Amino acid sequence: MNKKLWVYACCIGAFLAACDNGQQQSGGGGQHDSVAVYLTTPDQQQLFVKQSAIGKTKDTSAINIVMDTTRQFQEIEGFGASVTGSSAYVMQNYMSADKRQALLEELFGAENGLGINYIRMSIGASDFSTDPYSYDDMPAGQRDDSLTHFSIAHDEKDVAPVLKQISGINPNIHIMGSPWSPPGWMKTSGKLEGGSLRPDAYAVYARYFVKYIQAFAAAGVKITALTMQNEPQYEASYPSMKMTAPEQGTFIKDHLGPLLEKEGLHKQVSVMLFDHNWNSPEYPISILDDSAMAKYTAGAAFHCYEGAVGAMSKVHDAHPEKGLYFTECSGGSWSPEFADNLQYMVRQLFIGTMNNWSKNVLLWNMALDEHNGPTTNKPGTGKENRGCMTCRGVVTVNSKDGGVTRNVEYYAIAHFSKFVRPGAKRVYSSALADKGVENVAFLNADGSRVMVVINTTKDERVFSVQEGDIVSYGLKPGAVVTLVWK
């Protein structure tokens, strides 16, 4: 059996943290149990594999990371991805009950799995649904202001059962709901695609959100967060809607916020602004500047597709009392190299967003099939160009046999979600990007400390971590390591 297959067999799919390959890494301090080590290398020879523990040493390396757990920053809520309609479909329809349970326990189990604690779902259809729909579709020209026809029946086939199964594995899971579009009759376009929210539909749309929360609660799924509109600065040929900052602020201040309070849901459900790219920090700042609007909001959410991660710190600097959230980024077949993706995801999406005040990190689809679907895009039917046809899931589920392929996204999440538990605080660690060892550190509620380090150079980097005692580790080019102090 070659080395790579041995790693997979030993680690039961390369996700369990109990496998020790017995190899001492350069710079280690011998066979001690002081600091546990988990490694992923860009050549895929090590995929989140437990290494020999490292013990304390006397001297710091030339590259010395100081960790100070007394200097604490934001509280961490969790890591994960979106259980889209497509994700739920492939798990519900391509996998046997046993295989689905095993995968969900692997992803969401805290003891023997990755411990994923935060997921996002679409309120109605996104571009990653089997077809476009809302929870209250009406014939053209008709309205349903009483929401008499409201129903989550479409999601009761795949989405709700999968979310309920996940909630059974992790009862404390955070579930964020994000709409791609309200029902078409609420919009200036009269359809799910494009347009904006009609001024005379603000009140009924707020009630639509409440009915969504209540309907999923009745289905055994607790919604804990909302964003008002996925990518509100973009109109598309799939369900989408433009929503300006003044429109979003008014909707929250005059309609949704007061209604959530009236219904007693405001303590259960956090309301987040924006949910779009790093290039427009002024959008959430302008809403948070208005105290009457800001009082109903927990903070702002961001995507990765334009701009730079530092925009999140601009919002934090303007409103440090509010939380920041990272809610979407996708890898895909446009970038097939494992090493390149590992570098970008860990460096920018995880270390980068955490060091810029994010309380969570969410990637895009949790699961897709081998054709990057299914999606609302239907080639040859006149329904082309409905979103991304090359996006990759955290895992790929084979449509023929339900087999699972763990993609680079899986390992990027694992390095954080397995050990950085909900309620952890980000703590101070030396920013050494110029030395090629970018890092972020955390203190869990149980006192354990976690640091994730990536080598961004083309040479091995030996670094030390000074946190009371000193430990030293040698990290190959492009590799990622998670260090855990119990």
Cα gap 153→156, rounded to integer Å: 5
Catalytic residue flag (residue 231): yes
Clarify whether 75 is annotated catalytic.
Answer: no
**The token pair that represents 194 in the structure block:** 């494009």
Given the residues 77, 231, 247, 467, the one annotated as active site: 231
Handedness of CA 152, 156, 158, 160 (dihedral sign): positive
Could you write out the three-class secondary structure of the chain? CCHHHHHHHHHCCCCCCCCECCCCCCCCCCCCCCEEEEEECCCCCCCCEEEEEECCECCCCCEEEEEEEEEEEEECCEEEEECCHHHHHHHHHCCCHHHHHHHHHHHHCCCCCCCCCEEEEEECCCCCCCCCCCCCCCCCCCCCCCCCCCCCHHHHCCHHHHHHHHHHHCCCCEEEEEECCCCHHHECCCCCECCEECHHHHHHHHHHHHHHHHHHHHCCCCCCEEECCCCCCCCCCCECCECCHHHHHHHHHHHHHHHHHHCCCCCCCEEEEEEEECCCCHHHHHHHCCHHHHCCCCEEEEECCCCCCCHHHHHHHHCCCCEEEEEECCCECCCCCHHHHHHHHHHHHHHHHHHCCEEEEEEEECEECCCCCCCCCECCCCECCCCCCCECCCEEECCCCCCEEECHHHHHHHHHHCCCCCCCEEEEECCCHHHCEEEEEEECCCCCEEEEEEECCCCCEEEEEEECEEEEEEECCCCEEEEEEC
- Set 77, 105, 193, 328: catalytic member: 328
Q: Which residues are catalytic?
A: 231, 328
